[in-house]
Amino acid sequence: MKLGRLNHIGVATPSIADSIAFYRDVMGATSITEPFDLEEQGVKVCFVDTPGADGAMNGTQIELIEPLGENSTLAGFIAKNPLGGQHHLCFEVPDIAEARSEFEALGKRILGPTRIGAHGTPIFFVHPKDMGGMLTEIMETPKEGTHWSN
């Protein structure tokens, strides 16, 4: 396993609208995608773009995630953390199937099947107890031109 690019930091929020206002008005974000529902995961998502080292808006994104209802997998997190907070880190890998096999061979607990994530690429999550206390999303590197959602 080779550590890939930090694609995004997932931030759970009880209100995407309030979080967008915070990142825009307090943090000065100028590029925020329109929120969209990921019904199969029970969440509403949008991305806050951050500048990269070259000043272009190609840095690590902040993924804002709001539960779509009480049955959302995120609802429990918000119940324990009513203000929201850091939920997960997401790292890119070149081949999702190979990465999954490597994590399984290391005895890491993978949460659920590989599925399509918010960037339209295959993802899976690794249990925080196997990842230094942090829920970790592993994501296949998006193909050219598909990384940025805006």
List, by residue number, the catalytic residues.
137
Residues 6+ apart with CB under 8 A from 137: 10, 88, 89, 90, 91, 117, 123, 124, 125, 126
Give buried/exposed letters for 109-141 (b at 16+ CB in 10 A, else e): eeeeebeebbbebbbbbbeeeebeeebbbbbbb
